[in-house]
Structure 1
Amino acid sequence: MSVSFEPTTRRAALGAELARPTRVWDLPTRLFHWASAVSVIGLLVTGFSGIMEWHFRLGYTVLALLLFRLLWGVVGGRWSRFTSFLYSPRWVLAHLRGRAHPDHLVGHSPLGALSVFAVLGMLVLQVCTGLVSDDEVSASGPLTRFVSNATVSLASHWHSVFGKWGVVALVSLHVLAVLFYTLVKRQRLVGPMISGDKLLAGLRVAESRDTTSTRFTALMLFLLCAAFAAWIASLRA
């Protein structure tokens, strides 16, 4: 008596055929993601250690990265644009109930989008307050002389007390969420942020444009953002 595995093999082949790599994260977005991760970790380490010169340098780096991401969120690849992961409360609730739209799982999911906006918002607030902070010992931001003493005091208190722990909390939650989706839900999140591609089975969606011209555009935008950050840094001298 022979046993045929043809149906099983055929189904496996069909699944492999349907699961096609789709470019979701363009190279500029991937570089921003990993450069931001390294820079923010460096900011936290230098901030807690009191290594202020490097803290400022990394702060200007994060400023340039954030400015770039805000611009790239408008003109970047399909799934990097903010419009691709701006979800209404109805879609967030649907996601929590396990009834998310398939397209909403391609880029940032509704919960992932909330995490991204929270982290970006906190980093923007932390960088802005850092620019007008003064520890009254050895470090002061480059823009302190342009604002009132009351503003400097408020910004310094937020930056050194609440803001840094807010960044720690949000980054920790972000990492825990990635681990949860990877280990529990078996969804690959880290791999696509390295390669740029996701394997999408039975789902055809528009890919993010990731060509030489878009990468050159991203480079020019980042150089402009870096030049602006360097100009801000020069005001501290």
Structure 2
Amino acid sequence: MNGGPLQRIRVWDVPTRAFHWALAVAVVALVVTAKVGGNAMAWHFRLGYLVLALLAFRVLWGLVGGRWSRFSSFLYGPGSVRAYLRGEAGPQGRFDVGHSPLGALSVFALLAVLAAQVGTGLVADDEIANQGPLYRFVSGDTAAAATGWHAGYGQWIVISLVVLHVLAIAFYRLARRRDLLGPMLSGDKRLPAGTPPSADHAGTWGLAAVLLAACIGAAVWVASLGG
């Protein structure tokens, strides 16, 4: 990136920020309701359907969302990861605009693990009072394996990734003097003039609303399959 005076550039559009915070709250609530159990499991299922809708939305938004929210902006090869770790500039010097190579790996890992957690939850059976809506479509062995993963390794991997995410934010703030939290609240970063911004206006918000409504509808339909 060229040197020069810095200015506020819109990096994270409103839909991306709303997704981020909604997912954060939902995941924490999912862990809490799972630990509480009992009547809280009704909310655990509702939150699971919400996360399903949010993940589907993020996949779509990764294709048509704001410039720096699109997957194409943070799909890095091994060479870019090595360059970042060595402190070198990335293609056109843009490692620090959207997600860095390590940040991108964290994002993809968290999305993948959450997708696996939701997927296993949809076919899980705790053999007490709770079954996923797709339980009847799989064999008993598949349901048992999915339940074991969902309540065991999957849960702890999600918790571990969330903790690592928080620690990474703290590390960058304290050791690198880089604020990762502020831009996810305001949407803006101070960057060199000429850095291309993400589109963030009524048109993009309308598109996001339509996509989210479709994803919520799909999640409600999946929930209805449980009878």
Measured against the shorter chain, the TM-score band is over 0.9
Aligned to 1:82: 71
Aligned to 1:231: 221
**SS at structure 2 position matched to 1:198:** strand
Matched, 1:130 2:121: yes
What TM-score do the two structures reach when normalised by structure 2?
0.95
Aligned to 1:96: 85
**SS at structure 1 position matched to 2:9:** strand
**SS at structure 1 position matched to 2:124:** coil
Residues of 2 paired with 1:80 and 1:183: CA distance? Answer: 25
Deviation at 1:236, TM superposition (A): 2.1
Matched, 1:43 2:34: no
Of 39, 47, 52, which residue of structure 2 is paired with 1:58? 47
Letter of the structure 1 residue corresponding to residue 98 of structure 2: G
Deviation at 1:206, TM superposition (A): 1.2
Aligned to 2:204: 214
Q: Provide runs of 4+ in structure 1 moved above 6 Å.
A: none
Residues of 1 paired with 2:164 and 2:89: CA distance? Answer: 21
Per mean C-alpha deviation after superposition, the further-off stretch among 98-107 and 51-60 is 98-107
Letter of the structure 2 residue corresponding to residue 75 of structure 1: V
Deviation at 1:235, TM superposition (A): 1.8
Aligned to 2:98: 107
Aligned to 2:188: 197
For structure 1, list consecutive stretches of 5 or more residues without a partner in the other structure: 1-14
Letter of the structure 2 residue corresponding to residue 49 of structure 1: V
Letter of the structure 2 residue corresponding to residue 67 of structure 1: A
Of 3, 8, 18, which residue of structure 2 is paired with 1:21? 8
For structure 2, list consecutive stretches of 5 or more residues without a partner in the other structure: none
Aligned residues: 221
**SS at structure 1 position matched to 2:102:** helix
Aligned to 1:152: 143
Residues of 2 paired with 1:219 and 1:161: CA distance? Answer: 35
Residues of 2 paired with 1:118 and 1:192: CA distance? Answer: 21
Letter of the structure 2 residue corresponding to residue 24 of structure 1: V
Deviation at 1:104, TM superposition (A): 1.5
Percent identity of equivalent pairs: 57
Deviation at 1:204, TM superposition (A): 2.5
Deviations 1:161-214 (A, max 9, x none): 1100000000000110011001110111111101111001x3522110011011
